[in-house]
Amino acid sequence: MTKDEFEQALLNPASVFKSPEAVLEESSLTKRQKTEILLQWEYNAAEEAVALEEGMPGEETNMLHRVLTALGQVAGPIDVEHTGPSKQHGLRET
């Protein structure tokens, strides 16, 4: 993965990777880089889920669940009992 591809993935992971699972499979990334990309994907997926909840058009997907599962695989268990105060929750980095 090039530096430009990594920087693009930090902005919009779905533009570089087909799935959160593909981030896990990318051997050129460090654990930290995978975590950074998946945290951004988690934020994007949470934003989409909130928009749907508030009546914006779109389709409900299981992307947030898939991202959280992948993030848990690379960063360890995720404490969903203690999340941020917003609808997006904002997972804490480990």
Of the given ranges (13-22, 34-43, 79-88), which has the lowest mean pLDDT? 79-88
Per-residue pLDDT, 87:
52
Q: Is the pLDDT of residue 36 over 80?
A: yes
Per-residue pLDDT, 34:
97
Per-residue pLDDT, 93:
47
The residues spanned by each domain of the chain are 3-75
Q: Is the pLDDT of residue 83 over 60?
A: no
Average confidence (pLDDT) over 52-74: 78
Give pTM, 2 decimals: 0.74
State the Cα torsion 17-8-63-90 to the nearest 10°.
140
State phi, psi for 64 to the nearest 5 degrees: -60, -45
Question: What would the two tokens of residue 49 be?
Answer: 């889920």
Q: Is the pLDDT of residue 78 over 90?
A: no
Average confidence (pLDDT) over 36-53: 85
Distances in Å between the alpha carbon of 38 and those of 53, 56, 57, 70, 92? 22, 24, 24, 8, 12
